[in-house]
Amino acid sequence: MKIPIVLISLQVQSSFQAVPLGAASIVSALKNDRFITDRCTVSLCDLSLEDPQFHDKDDEGIARIIADRVFECACLSAGCDTQAVFGFSIYVWNRQVCEKAARIIRQRMSKALVLAGGPEITANPLFADTPFHYLIQGEGETASTKLISSYLDLSVAACESGTIIRATHESLDSLSSPWLDGTLLSSPSVNGFHGALWELARGCPYSCSYCYESKGSKQLRYFPLSRLSAELHEFVRMGIERVFVLDPTYNCSRERALQILALIEKIAPTIHFNFEVRCELLDREIVRAFSRIPCSLQIGLQSSNPRALAAVSRPTDIKAFTKKIGLLNEAGIVFGLDLICGLPEDSLSTFRSSIDFALSLYPNNLELFRLAVLPGTTLHDQAASFSLRHQDTPPYHVLSLPSFPAADIDRAMELARAVEFFYTHGRAVSWFLAVIYPLKIKSSRFFSDFAAFLQRQYPAMPLDQVAHQDIEAIQLAFLELVYQEKGLSWAWPVVKDLVSLNGAWTRALADGESSILDLSYDSEDIMGPDALDILSFAENAYMEASTVHITPGPDGPELH
């Protein structure tokens, strides 16, 4: 009987981004080793905390279910005690529950070898009372293969817990692709969401102190273009609809970035790609190349406060940043921005200013994160010098700073939730700045008022589970209230038409939904540029009640 090897991936959510690529890459490396495959079966156990089996379970209950699923994957009975290898892919979000699952496995199988790797292990190897026999720090393909080969060759029980193996950098030319060898064909996230994670490179030349890469390799290593080309062909064959590109410095090498965009345009011109890019490295040629494929870009602004950016070794020329974003807006490219709450030298006031600046650039989404002071990062080492208080256990969130006390951080996160709900989930980019301009208030003030409105009117609402049409109803209720308070009720019909028509258009485009709207103005006028000057339009446009029907069509939404 062959010895079972099971690699376990526990994702925090079910989505097109929740592909277990790290664990799958280890599986591929093991399957590519003849010594191992002659003696073992190798499988991937792909789980998500959003799976129905985990609903309403605490960490202990989830851990027991994981252990049961692992035994099923290994085709072992609960009382069986034979040789087996179980490897966990550990991240900030799953560390504690995976530790509990590993302990259960070891209680059931004394002869099993239990391993752990992944970003959390690389940063923080968990010396104290770890349930894992071996902790693999760094890139795990070769290290895992050598370790398991030695275990099989010696045929002895595993060593005592907590042995650390520090992996060397891989030669990316020789690694097996989990996309090309079929490892990921049965992944629920791939089949359920038709999405893929696509790894292009490893290493990062930058030194942002809050990132794991701050102590990592500064040398960029690239997967060969021949492999990337073959993976693109496989994505097309599999019917993949959306690809999230794993390369935090995608356009660091301008020429390579252009080569890959050309490959995408040639091989997979209908698949949507999400890239993370450095804004300061954009130019007109690469922006034009992005514009020729279906894509969206995510850009780490993090803050508009120069002192905060300097404190985390991420200096940014804000004026140059603004000009580069202008290239994206000119080309009509969808992009989003990231902000971090709680950086050293930041405050509630400067965080508000960062929101105002970010929204002035017309991002399609604005993602706001609470700073995580991750073990293994430079910022973690420097925390005391900044008088930065943070959680000692996952998710390691910042608690307070001298310039950003705990109560202010709480207020900032309420503001962040209001922004994400109203602006990002509410798809407000096309009309937001136009609608708040007549109110003569900053974006951050608007969202502070909206956060208070949500707390009064919808205190128990789970903001991440609201359908867009319901978000739109809340947007309109708040906007009508604000326009009344400002004495601008006479302009309210323009705002209502603008928000409703754009909302129906996005639902037809993104969700395939049809809508019937009763408008106060002609729909073509509302969709035209003049309507974005709310007060002028309200004063001069002819009100003409109409009913319109917006439906999804083969070439985009259609208006009847």
The predicted-structure confidence for 163-211, as pLDDT tens digits, reads as follows 889 888 888 999 999 999 999 988 877 877 889 999 999 988 899 999 9
Structural domains for the chain = 3-166 (3.40.50), 194-424 (3.80.30.20), 429-560 (no CATH)
Whether residue 219 has pLDDT greater than 70: yes
pLDDT for 160: 62
Choice among 213-217, 244-248, 328-332 with the minimum mean pLDDT: 213-217
Question: Number of helices and strands (H, E) in the chain?
Answer: 21, 19
Mean pLDDT of 245-265: 94
Q: Residue 257 corresponds to which amino acid? A: A
Q: How far apart are CA 508 and CA 409, in angstroms?
A: 37
Give the separation between CA 398 and CA 314, rounded to whole angstroms.
18
Mean pLDDT in residue range 88-103 = 92
Contacts 24+ apart (CB under 8 A), 150-153: 151/85, 151/113, 152/3, 152/35, 152/36, 152/39, 152/40
pLDDT at position 80 over 90: no
Average pLDDT over residues 533-546: 94
Q: What is the mean pLDDT of residues 280-287?
A: 96
Q: Which of 352, 290, 362 minimizes the C-alpha distance to 326?
A: 362
Beta partners for residue 134, in sequence order? 115, 163
Mean pLDDT for the chain overall = 92
**Residue appearing with tokens 């275990």:** 151
Residue 169: its pLDDT value, please? Answer: 85
pTM of the model: 0.92
Q: Would you state the pLDDT for residue 170?
A: 83
pLDDT digits (tens, 9 = 90+) for 414-429: 999 999 999 999 999 9
Per-residue pLDDT, averaged over 205-223, amounts to: 83
User: Would you give the DSSP letter of residue 52?
Assistant: G
Q: In whole angstroms, give the CA distance from residue 536 to residue 118.
A: 57
Q: How far is CA 140 from the centre of its chain?
A: 23
Classify 430 as helix, strand or coil. Answer: coil
Residue 391 has pLDDT above 50, yes or no: yes
Give percent above pLDDT 70 in the chain: 97
Q: Is the pLDDT of residue 441 over 90?
A: yes
Which phi and psi angles does 33 have, rounded to 5°? -105, 115
Cis omega (within 30 of 0) for bond into 395: yes
Burial class (CB in 10 A: 0-12, 13-18, 19+), 530: exposed
* Residue owning tokens 């004394």: 110
What tens digit of pLDDT does each residue of 139-156 get? 999 999 999 998 888 754
Angstrom distances, CA of residue 194 to CA of 184, 224, 297, 460, 519: 12, 24, 19, 33, 37
pLDDT score recorded for residue 156: 47
